[in-house]
């Protein structure tokens, strides 16, 4: 019997007993427990964190029968069983510090009651400490504490800085107990999406080992290529594995790249390439944050960030670069040592995120989704027919669809990067090979687009900012950008804009001649 796909299931016992596919990560769980005690792991949403935590819990409470045939079956001390305290913030949205405190106290009391205990304290840190002490006295074993979605109460309020800061303080107070009661605990692990700076949230818990970018645990969540081809072999037979990889693989945590599990499972069920993960909820404030920080869409490919800056996210210092990495919209493309440490080059992990994120940026530009959708389809038809006359009209439509009021609120709108960014957002959702600011031996060209056996080289210029009278097309020819490419058919396109008119003033093209 073919095993079922565990879509939306993060209960380890249900997966094993219900004949669902399971990717064995228990060798890495063994290494975690064998090598340390306090851990923190950040991964994007719907990446298998909750299933990981439940699997760890089932091992500690001694459910050996669930691990038959898995690595841990023969590599765990099943004679020792430990009580597990589960703290999970995944359910519901907390909008105040009061709601947070009430929720935590309720979780602690429910845990105590399930063990026949009654907590006397009503302050969250005192109640938590009392629960840990009482459980150890009751069973004679140090309890395990697993905190899932540790940061969700903060992220749910991230656009309300004052509320988020108050919730952060409440969580810091709560988590500080884990260090104070360290002698009474067997194992501690916290997981979430974001990595808040240790100073702000973990100042009282500075003994956590962050394994987010530890190569030894880089595949702890997510599916490797081998996982896909073995565990799901019955499902991928006859499918285009290269295309599946292009769409859903590419998340890099300094180990072998991994697939987003949610995408893989839904694709294997529906057999249709769609942005399943992206559609489950992309924060609307992200495109707005990029606009406010004047970061154009095309600049997201190739962002460089230091290892210290990667972990600097906080409610009163929201920086888009680390946030985009932590939430899964960007991933590590390269790592390089420098005298001050390590820096990472970031980029979109795969086609799904590149395509869907740029669509989201387009919506933020103009809100006229029906016009944008028509423009994208017209763009594809024009490229397919190699009709540059049509391309001129379509480019004009790109900017005509953006409300004039939007320009007043966006300082970037007067610069070449803005116009390049808009065009980039239209090209990338089509699945084309698009590169912005690509280097050549003669300088940097604004944009290169590959379509079938043709290459289009595009240069943008804002009339009011032009240092020289020569037009955009003349600049391409002068710099001989086309000499870098081996394609037989290369088209040079110069696009000029007026800052005051907010649209194209000149659109010229010609075929490159060698």
* Long-range pairs, 463-466, Cβ under 8 A, ≥24: 463/496, 463/497, 463/498, 463/499, 463/505, 464/414, 464/498, 464/499, 464/500, 465/414, 465/415, 465/416, 465/499
Burial pattern 371-393, b for ≥16 Cβ within 10 A else e, equals: ebeebbebbbebbeeeebeebbe
The Cα 54–Cα 12 span in angstroms is: 6
Q: How far apart are CA 479 and CA 482, in angstroms?
A: 9
**Cα dihedral sign for 101, 105, 106, 111?**
positive
Whether the CB-CB separation of 235 and 268 falls below 8 Å is answered with yes
Distance (Å, whole) CA 224 – CA 207:
30
pLDDT tens-digit series, residues 373-416: 888 899 999 999 999 989 989 888 877 776 655 555 555 444 56
Q: Please say whether the beta carbons of 427 and 381 come within 8 A.
A: no
What does the alpha-carbon distance between residue 302 and residue 321 come to, in Å, rounded to a whole number? 11
341 bridge partner residues: 338
What is the residue-level pLDDT of the chain in tens, covering all 514 positions? 799 999 999 999 999 999 999 999 999 999 999 999 999 999 999 999 999 999 999 999 999 999 999 999 999 999 999 999 999 998 889 999 999 999 999 999 999 999 999 999 999 999 999 999 999 999 999 999 999 999 999 989 988 889 999 999 999 999 999 989 999 999 999 999 988 765 566 666 678 899 999 999 999 999 999 999 999 999 999 999 999 999 999 999 999 999 999 999 999 999 999 999 998 876 777 888 887 787 888 888 888 999 888 876 778 778 888 889 999 999 999 999 988 889 999 999 999 999 899 888 887 766 566 777 888 899 999 999 999 989 989 888 877 776 655 555 555 444 567 778 888 888 888 888 898 887 666 667 889 999 988 999 999 888 766 555 568 898 888 888 888 887 779 999 999 888 776 778 889 999 987 6
Q: CA-to-CA distance for 478 and 234, rounded, in angstroms? A: 56
Q: What angle do CA 377, 379, 382 make, to 5 degrees?
A: 115
In the chain, what are the domains?
12-217 (3.40.50), 224-366 (no CATH), 390-511 (3.40.1350)
Dihedral angle computed from the Cα positions of residues 89, 91, 93 and 96, in that order, rounded to the nearest 10 degrees: -40
Write phi, then psi, for 363 (nearest 5 degrees). Answer: -60, -35
Phi, psi of 8 (to 5 degrees): 75, 10
Query: If residue 218 lies in a helix (H) or strand (E), which one and from where to where?
Result: none
CA-based nearest residue to 58, from 87, 39, 19, 86: 86
Strand order from edge to edge, sheet including 341-347: 304-306, 341-347, 331-338
**Could you give the strand order of the β-sheet that contains 433-440, starting from the edge strand earlier in sequence?**
433-440, 443-451, 454-462, 489-498, 503-511
């Amino acid at each position: 019997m073919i095993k079922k796909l565990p879509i939306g299931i993060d209960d380890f016992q249900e997966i094993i007993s219900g004949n669902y596919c399971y990717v064995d990560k228990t060798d890495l769980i063994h290494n975690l427990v064998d090598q340390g005690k306090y851990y923190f792991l950040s991964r994007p949403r719907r990446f298998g964190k909750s299933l990981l935590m439940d699997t760890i819990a089932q091992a500690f409470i001694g459910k050996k029968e669930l691990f038959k045939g898995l690595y841990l079956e023969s590599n765990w001390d099943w004679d020792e069983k430990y009580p597990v305290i589960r703290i999970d913030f995944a359910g519901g949205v907390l909008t105040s510090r009061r709601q947070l405190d009430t929720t935590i106290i309720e979780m602690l009391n429910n845990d105590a009651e399930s063990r026949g205990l009654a907590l006397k304290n009503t302050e969250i840190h005192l109640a938590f400490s009392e629960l840990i002490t009482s459980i150890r006295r009751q069973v004679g074993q140090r309890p395990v504490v697993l905190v899932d979605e540790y940061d969700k109460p903060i992220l749910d309020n991230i656009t309300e800085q004052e509320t988020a800061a108050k919730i952060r303080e409440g969580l810091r107070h709560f988590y500080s107990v884990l260090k104070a009661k360290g002698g009474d605990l067997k194992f501690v692990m916290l997981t979430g999406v974001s990595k808040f700076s240790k100073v702000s949230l973990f100042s009282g818990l500075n003994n956590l080992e962050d394994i987010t970018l530890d190569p030894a645990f880089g595949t702890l969540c997510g599916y490797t290529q081998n996982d896909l081809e073995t565990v799901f072999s019955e499902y991928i037979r006859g499918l285009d594995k290269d295309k599946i990889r292009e769409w859903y693989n590419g998340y890099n945590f300094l180990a072998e790249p991994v697939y987003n599990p949610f995408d893989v499972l839904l694709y294997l069920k529906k057999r249709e390439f769609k942005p399943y993960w992206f559609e489950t909820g992309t924060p609307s404030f992200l495109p707005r944050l990029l606009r406010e920080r004047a970061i154009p869409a095309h600049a997201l490919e190739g962002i460089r960030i230091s290892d210290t800056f990667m972990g600097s996210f906080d409610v009163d210092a929201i920086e888009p670069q680390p946030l985009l990495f932590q939430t899964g919209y960007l991933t590590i493309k390269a790592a390089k040592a420098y005298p001050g440490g390590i820096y990472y080059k970031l980029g979109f992990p795969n086609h799904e995120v590149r395509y869907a994120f740029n669509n989201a940026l387009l919506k933020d530009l103009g809100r006229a989704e029906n016009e944008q959708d028509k423009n994208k389809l017209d763009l594809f038809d024009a490229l397919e027919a190699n009709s540059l006359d049509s391309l001129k009209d379509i480019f004009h439509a790109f900017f005509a669809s953006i409300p004039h009021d939007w320009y007043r609120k966006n300082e970037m709108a007067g610069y070449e990067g803005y116009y390049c960014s808009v065009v980039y957002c239209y090209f990338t959702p089509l699945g084309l090979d698009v590169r912005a600011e690509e280097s050549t031996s003669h300088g940097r060209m604004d944009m290169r687009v590959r379509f079938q056996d043709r290459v289009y080289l595009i240069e943008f210029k804002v009339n009011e900012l032009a240092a020289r009278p020569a037009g955009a097309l003349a600049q391409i020819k002068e710099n001989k950008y086309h000499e870098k490419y081996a394609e037989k058919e290369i088209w040079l396109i110069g696009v000029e804009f007026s800052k005051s008119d907010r649209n194209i003033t000149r659109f010229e093209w010609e075929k490159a001649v060698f």
